[in-house]
Amino acid sequence: MKGIVLAGGSGTRLLPLTSAVSKQLLPVYDKPLIYYPLSVLMLGGIREILLISSPDQLPLFHTLFGDGSRLGLSISYAEQTRPDGIAQALTIGADHIGTSSVTLILGDNIFHGPGFSHLLQSRLRQVAGALLFGYAVSDPQRYAVGETIEDGSLVSIEEKPAEPRSNLALTGLYAYNNDVVDIAKNLRPSARGELEITDVNRAYLEQGRAQLVRLGRGFSWLDAGTHDSLLQAANYVQVLEQRQGMRIACLEEIAYRMGFITAEECQELALRMGQTSYGHYLLDIVEREATRSD
The pLDDT tens digits of the residues spanning 53-106 come to 999 999 999 999 999 999 999 999 999 999 899 999 999 999 999 999 999 999
pLDDT the model gives residue 126: 85
**Would you say residue 289 lies in a domain?**
no
Structural domain count of the chain: 1
185-188-194-198 Cα dihedral, nearest 10 degrees: -80
Alpha helices in the chain (DSSP H): 35-43, 58-65, 88-92, 94-97, 116-124, 179-185, 197-206, 227-244, 251-257, 263-272, 277-293
Query: Domain range holding 202?
Result: 2-261
Assign residue 125 the CATH number of its domain.
3.90.550.10
List, for the chain, all residue ranges whose pLDDT scores fall below the cut of 50: none
**Would you say residue 274 lies in a domain?**
no
Give the whole-angstrom CA distance, residue 111 versus residue 113: 7
**Would you say residue 275 lies in a domain?**
no
pLDDT the model gives residue 150: 80
The pLDDT tens digits of the residues spanning 171-204 come to 999 999 999 999 999 999 998 889 999 999 999 9
**Would you say residue 144 lies in a domain?**
yes
Calculate the alpha carbon distances from 278 to 1, 73, 250, 252, 288 in Å: 30, 21, 9, 10, 16
Model-level pTM? 0.95
SS (H, E, C) 116-138: HHHHHHHHHCCCCCEEEEEEECC
Give the whole-angstrom CA distance, residue 200 versus residue 180: 7
pLDDT the model gives residue 293: 64
Q: Which candidate, 7, 13, 81, 63, places its Cα nearest to that of 38? A: 7
**Would you say residue 252 lies in a domain?**
yes
pLDDT the model gives residue 294: 57
**Would you say residue 283 lies in a domain?**
no
